[in-house]
Structures are given as structure tokens and as C-alpha cells.
Amino acid sequence: KTLDGSATQQDVKRLHAMNDALDLLDFEDESIEYLRSLLLKTLSSPLFLRHNDGREFISHLFTLHPSFVPHLHQAIRVQIPNARHRILQAYGNIYLRAWKKASASATPFRSGNIVEHERGLGEAIQKSIEENALQDLMYAALHVSTKSMSKAIRLVLQPIHAAKKSPQIDSLLYRMYTPILWRALSAANPLVRLNATSILVDTFPLRDPNDASRGDATTQEGVQKTHKALVSLLTDDDPAVRASASDASARILATFWDAIPTNNIRTILNHIIAEHASDKTSSSVRASAVTSIALLLDAPQSHAVLRSLLPSLGNLIHDNIERVRLSVVKLLLRVKKIKGIKFYHVVPVDHLLARLAAERSNITTTRNKKVVTQDPAFNASSVAIALTDLLLNSYFPRGEHVTGADQIRRTLTFLTNHPDAATVFYSNISRQLSVNAVCKLAAMLLKCLCASVEADSQPNVHDNSNSSSGTMNTNKKSRTKKRKSSTILSEKSVSNDESSSTLSQDSNSDGETLSAS
């Protein structure tokens, strides 16, 4: 009934309540073939996979008999290529629960007494799950020929990898991966090395927690072995492997910074910043290097080391490839949130404004073999949008103590000193602000412009009969008109140095001072 199209969650719940009755069946008898086929269909039923009772019922199926495990695993495996993210994670949780139940049944002391036959059956089921299901998935995750399939299998294994803090799971991963992972990291096929790099991150540190006689020596041995593998991957001939190695190294360092020797950290950072960031053969390697350093900033312990190294990445803001430029701006956005590191120390303000202005020229389309420049508001590049977000607090300050006059003053200063950069900035500002804020700014600018035009259009009165008196009146009116224009335009003709000084205010949310170089 639960496999019928009209079944409900209550039907699955009632079936789960009587799953202990399945333990009484003989799965080696041929007469159970029809029931076996019905049970296998539950593994592809969305109703079972969506609800916890259904997943619990499926995980219990793995503990019925060792010979039934390969059939259950095969029923799941054929679903993996086309399954959605949630379904893949549900399968992973099913494998994890099944292994835990089998492991508990194989424990010699459970509830005081346990029948020897039941314990032997539990050990056989646990061994069958490990060898026929988990080992098959782990081997496939390393050796499948497509990236999408490898990613799907890793999603199935993710719940098991995430439970690595448990000594039992840690020991399981050590037993399952040790024979195959280290060989895969040095395989001749670059795709196998690429898959192994992702698995290395999820299982680090790969060690045997049951080897109590050696203590921390086992962990240090695993760390050194991993470091050696990472250095080899960072210098790999394949660009995709090198890019993946940068990401893997950053993730490991960000999580286990204190557990890794200083010399190893220095070696890895030297490869990423000094070599990968200037790799002329692959833009993906350069972009991955910048993204990896951005990930590494998640570890507060790394800030003291990276503060002096980050400026080495600044020149990539002018890279020919947009993906690399975008990764640099995203790095600056992350640096902006960190106290003690200023984003304008990584990339100077002049370079940021020059890059913002240059993004305007990149907005082109081809029509009838002619290059036509489009409105930046409709064809803004991702780099221009990110730079607008980065500089928003500097050129359009907001807050309790910020008045409309302050916003107008900075707007006019920006438009006067850097017209090209300001054009791109204000064409993208609507993506960062609410409609009310944009309309308010437009209204203030229009009011300012109207007042300035009105002041400039007032006629000069000259009294020819009394030249002295007329000249005096004319000068007075001229001074009055100039004061009005000066007040409205808010220091429209300030110098470039004053522009940089203005930029220094509100560059960060905590009120940091932005120094102009």
C-alpha cells in the first residue's frame, strides 16, 4: 500500500512501526523473492525518502541479512546519477544509520547479554555494508570518469565524512580509504587525482584512532603524509588539479591551522601566492589562488601571516580575465570585514577607481559586426557590481549622523575628480540600495542642479549713468551669486588630494580611515 500513488505519510509510519516483523523472515528462502522486490522499491520511493520514518525503515532493511545488502546498495546506486541534492543526502544518512545499527549489533556487550549467534550476524552485516556498499561508493568517488558523478557520490558520502569526529567513524574511514586514497593521489589519470584531492579534504587527518600505543604520533604522521601529497598536487602538470589543490590546501589550513607545523604552512602559502597567483598558463589557477586565500581568511590565526602577503595579489585586479578580477574584488570584500587589515592596503584606491572606470569600456555587444556600447545600468559586469559594493560606504555614506548634504558633497566630489569611475559607480548603485534611497539621491541632485542653473541665469544689471555705483552693485550681486553656487555645489572644485581624504571616511562599517595613496 505504501508504494501506491495514493499512499500517505501515515501509511509509511505504520509500516515503520512493524519493521521488527521483518527480522523473522528467512531471506535465503526462494519464497521471499516477491517481498524482496517490494522492499527494494521503497529505496526509490520519494514518500519514503522525504520522511524520517521512511528513511529509518530503509536503514533497517540493511540490517536484515548480509546477502540482502548488495541488492539494497545496487537499488540505491542506479538512482544516484539523476537524484537531487536532498535525495543524495538522504541516501547518505541511510548508509550511516545502517552501519551504526550493524556496528551496535556486533558489539560484544550490549544491554548486559547478547546471543552469540546474533552478534555473529551483526558482524557479518557490518562487514557486508562496509565491503559491498561503502567501499564501492568510496572507490567510485575516486575513479568515476565524470565530475558530476563524482560530486553526486561525494554528496552520498558527506554524512559519513561529517561524522568523522566519532572514533568509530574515524576508524571506518581509515580502514576504507587507506588502501585506495594514497594511490589515487598519485595516479596517472589527472581526473583520478582531481577526485582524490576533494576526498583528501573531507577525510583529513586520515589516521587510526585505535592505535593508542603511538598516541599523537599517528596524527602527525597523517599530517606529514597529507602535506607531502598537497605539495605534489600544487605542482601538478594539470591546471585543474593545481586549482583544486589550492582550494584543498586552504580548507585544510583554515580548519587545522594550529595542528599544522609552521614550515608546512609557509611552504603551502608560497606555492599558492608566489606561484599560482602568477600562473600564466591558466586563469583558473590564478582565480583559485585568490579564492583560496579568501577562504583562508576564515581562520583568525592566519591574519597575522596574510597581512603582509595580501598586497602581492593586488595586481590581479587588472587581470585580463574577468573571473580573476572578480575573485580579487570578492577577496577585498572579505578583507573589508576584518579588523586590522584594510582593503585599500591590498589594492590602492587609485587602482580601484581605474579598474572601475575600465569596466565601463568592457560593456559592449556586437550588432551587425559593429561594436555598440550599451548602457552600463543594463549591462553591468560582475566586477563593476562588486566594486560598487566595495566602495559604497566611501562615496555614498549612510547612517544616523550622515546628512543629505554629506551625500551630495561626496557625490559631486566623485563626479568632478573621477567622472568615468563615478559613471559606472552610480549606474550600479541601484543594485545595492533600495528604491527610496536612489530616488532620494536623484531628487537631491536635481534640486541642486536646478538651484545652480537658476543662480547662474540671473541677469547682471549695469547702470551706465553711475558707473561707480553700478560696478559696486554688480560686484555685490556677483558675489551673492557665487556664494549660492558654492553653497549648493558643496566644494565642487576640490583637489584630488581632498577627494582621497573624503574617501577615507566610512570605508569600513566600523569607521576605519581610508588613506589615499
Give mean pLDDT, residues 47-52. 90
pLDDT of residue 460: 54
End-of-domain residue from the set 321, 346, 371: 346
Q: Is 41 in the same domain as 149?
A: yes
pLDDT tens-digit readout, 443-461 = 888 888 888 788 888 765 4
End-to-end CA distance of the chain: 74
What is the domain range of residue 71?
A: 1-163
Q: Is 286 in the same domain as 223?
A: yes
pLDDT of residue 184: 95
Torsion of CA 496, 501, 507, 513, to 10 degrees: 150
Residue 355 inside a domain? The answer is yes
Residue 328 inside a domain? The answer is yes
pLDDT of residue 188: 94
End-of-domain residue from the set 136, 163, 190: 163
pLDDT of residue 379: 54
Q: Is 341 in the same domain as 391?
A: no
Question: Please, what sign has the CA dihedral across residues 394, 395, 401, 406?
Answer: positive
- Within 106-237, residue ranges assigned H as helices are 116-129, 135-143, 147-162, 167-185, 190-203, 216-234
Residue 195 inside a domain? The answer is no
pLDDT of residue 400: 76
Q: Is 301 in the same domain as 431?
A: no
Kindly tell me if the per-residue pLDDT of 54 is higher than 70. yes
Residue 190 inside a domain? The answer is no
- List all residues 6 or more positions away from 317 whose beta carbon is below 8 Å from its beta carbon: 325, 328, 329, 347, 351, 352, 355
Q: How confident is the model at residue 360 (pLDDT cuts 50, 70, 90)?
A: confident
Q: Is 512 in the same domain as 381?
A: yes
Q: Is 416 in the same domain as 442?
A: yes
Q: Is 68 in the same domain as 136?
A: yes
pLDDT of residue 210: 79
Residue 376 inside a domain? The answer is yes
Q: How confident is the model at residue 486 (pLDDT cuts 50, 70, 90)?
A: very low
pLDDT of residue 496: 38
Q: Is 359 in the same domain as 338?
A: no
Give mean pLDDT, residues 165-178. 92
Question: Which segment of 15-29, 140-154, 184-198, 411-425 scores lowest on mean pLDDT?
Answer: 15-29
Please name the residue that has the C-alpha cell 572606470.
Answer: 357
Q: How confident is the model at residue 482 (pLDDT cuts 50, 70, 90)?
A: very low
- List all residues 6 or more positions away from 407 whose beta carbon is below 8 Å from its beta carbon: 396, 397, 441, 444
| Core vs surface per residue 376-392: b (16+ CB within 10 A) or e | beeebbebbbbbbbbbb
Kindly tell me if the per-residue pLDDT of 501 is higher than 90. no
pLDDT tens-digit readout, 182-220 = 999 999 999 999 999 999 999 998 888 877 666 677 788
Q: Is 332 in the same domain as 360?
A: no
Please name the residue that has the C-alpha cell 592566519.
Answer: 302
Residue 286 inside a domain? The answer is yes
Q: Is 335 in the same domain as 380?
A: no
Kindly tell me if the per-residue pLDDT of 174 is higher than 90. yes
Distance (Å, rounded) from C-alpha 58 to C-alpha 43?
A: 7
- List all residues 6 or more positions away from 460 whose beta carbon is below 8 Å from its beta carbon: 474, 477, 478
Residue 188 inside a domain? The answer is no
Residue 398 has phi, psi (to 5 degrees) of: -140, 155
pLDDT of residue 481: 44
- Kindly state the helix (H) or strand (E) to which residue 370 belongs, with its residue range: strand 370-373
End-of-domain residue from the set 319, 346, 373: 346
Residue 493 inside a domain? The answer is yes
Contact (Cβ atoms closer than 8 angstroms) between residue 333 and residue 390: yes
Q: Is 419 in the same domain as 511?
A: yes
Q: Is 353 in the same domain as 340?
A: no
Q: How confident is the model at residue 253 (pLDDT cuts 50, 70, 90)?
A: very high
Number of domains composing the chain = 3
pLDDT tens-digit readout, 76-124 = 999 999 999 999 999 999 999 999 999 887 655 444 454 555 567 778 9
> CATH code at 278?
1.25.10
pLDDT of residue 69: 94
